[in-house]
Amino acid sequence: MARHYSWPSDRAVAEVRRIVSNMAGVTKEEVRIVASPYRICPLGAHIDHQGGTVSAMTLDMGILLGFVPSRSSEVLLISGDFEGQVRFSVDEIQQPIQTTTENGNSRKDSSEQQEQCKWGRYARGAVYALQSRGNKLSKGIFGLISDGDGLNSVGLSSSAAAGIAYLMAFEHANNLAISPTENIEYDRLIENEYLGLKNGIMDQSAILLSSHGCLLCMNCKTKDYRLIQRPKVQEYKKIGQPKGTKILVALSGLKGALTSNPGYNGRVAECQKAARVLLEASGDFTAEPILSNVKPEVYETHKCKLDSNLAKRAEHYFSENTRVAKGVEAWAKGNLKEFGDLVSASGRSSIQNYECGAEPLIQLYEILLRAPGVLGARFSGAGFRGCCIAFVEADLADEAASFVEREYPKAQPLLAREMELQGQTSIFICESGDCARVL
């Protein structure tokens, strides 16, 4: 059965406080909670790493990190979702996990090989990011991190949510005044430098800058952003649009960290190669080879010089930028039907041009498009694993969820059965959320 979501619940917060107070030997009132939400990208998929313009919002679901400052530099962490403990000191100098040898092969450094609990890499990464910019850390934390619903590695940017949660906890424990825009850069350092994932800044920007009910629009090259509100509910009758929407999150059952999937970084490299070909064809040999440095007229003139794969990657980039611009305008006008159509078109381009949709995700995407009341759908995240999201008329959300619950097991019986055996809810009915904060 689909789960209606309201996050964070008082019950979940109280349970995190109870566990942390017991492990740290403090009162429940001394425990601080970071609420770090998951994010979706309705339009602008796969173009943030090229400096494109993206849209995003958070969901009212995410990660809770309960913590208290330790009395020393010691860090002790447990997880509500994974086994083991993570122990280290903020005095230790953290080194990136991914290093490159002379022949180009990546290897893991010794500290990571010795780390039994790989989920702890995001805490270490947060310390690395803060250290690398000269911040002095004297206090560690005792803490519990949990999402409670098994939604890690499903395409909702749980990695960025975790990284941001740890950043905010270490900053709070050490009385560091860090702005949201600074934390966007710090989390980029965790992902790009410490973990070796060549993604852009969309995930962390959404988590740190979103506001309830708004669509975040960000130029990932200039880092300029704005929040776009929808018209008030009473205005919808005048324009013949659904007066309210919900967001469906439908799980495929595919999981896996992007850092272990070569497809993601491979697509980024192809976009950069396409940019280099186009720039050099126009006589520009100095600009950074990212597609945002290629003017649309240069693309139209020289796209014939791209091989088949590179042509598809460039077509996705330029068409997706156009969809973002149209989508932002549609959202601001309350034209949710047009907005939904653009979201679905983005999903098709991700499949056909960016070529990143695994078969179960493509099937789930197609099922969502047939579901009653769905205005638009696409898969979330990189498309190599995870979930699909859909905007649905609020009055039909339960009916749409039931339709997906009936149809997806017909397409993927093994994955659906595995989720059932694990007690994993397969579909959530959500609303837009707020930014990460310390409760």
Number of compact structural domains in the chain: 1
- Quickly state the pLDDT bin for 283 (edges 50, 70, 90): very high
Q: Helices H, strands E: what count in the chain? A: 14, 15
User: What CATH number is attached to the domain comprising 21?
Assistant: 3.30.230.10
* 30 within domain boundaries: yes
| DSSP string for residues in 31-87 | -EEEEEEEEE-SS-TT-GGGT-EEEEEEEEEEEEEEEEE-SSSEEEEEESSS-SEEE
- Quote helix, strand, coil % in the chain, to nearest 5: 45, 20, 30
| pLDDT tens sequence across 113-168 | 344 457 889 999 999 999 999 999 999 999 999 987 767 767 788 899 999 999 99
* 157 within domain boundaries: yes
Q: Cβ-count burial of 63 within 10 angstroms (0-12 exposed, 13-18 middle, 19+ buried)?
A: buried
d(C-alpha 308, C-alpha 330), whole Å: 32
Q: What pLDDT score does 98 carry?
A: 62
* 254 within domain boundaries: no
81 noted as active-site residue: no
Average pLDDT over residues 258-280: 83
Query: Active site residue: 48, 60, 187, 203, which one?
Result: 203
Q: Cβ-count burial of 297 within 10 angstroms (0-12 exposed, 13-18 middle, 19+ buried)?
A: exposed
Asked if pLDDT for residue 350 goes beyond 60, the answer is: yes
Asked if pLDDT for residue 219 goes beyond 80, the answer is: yes
Average pLDDT over residues 69-90: 94
* 43 within domain boundaries: yes
pTM: 0.88
Beta carbons of 41 and 202 less than 8 angstroms apart = yes
d(C-alpha 399, C-alpha 378), whole Å: 19
Percent of the chain scored above 70 by pLDDT? 88
Residue range of the domain that includes 210: 10-97+118-219
* 156 within domain boundaries: yes
* 15 within domain boundaries: yes
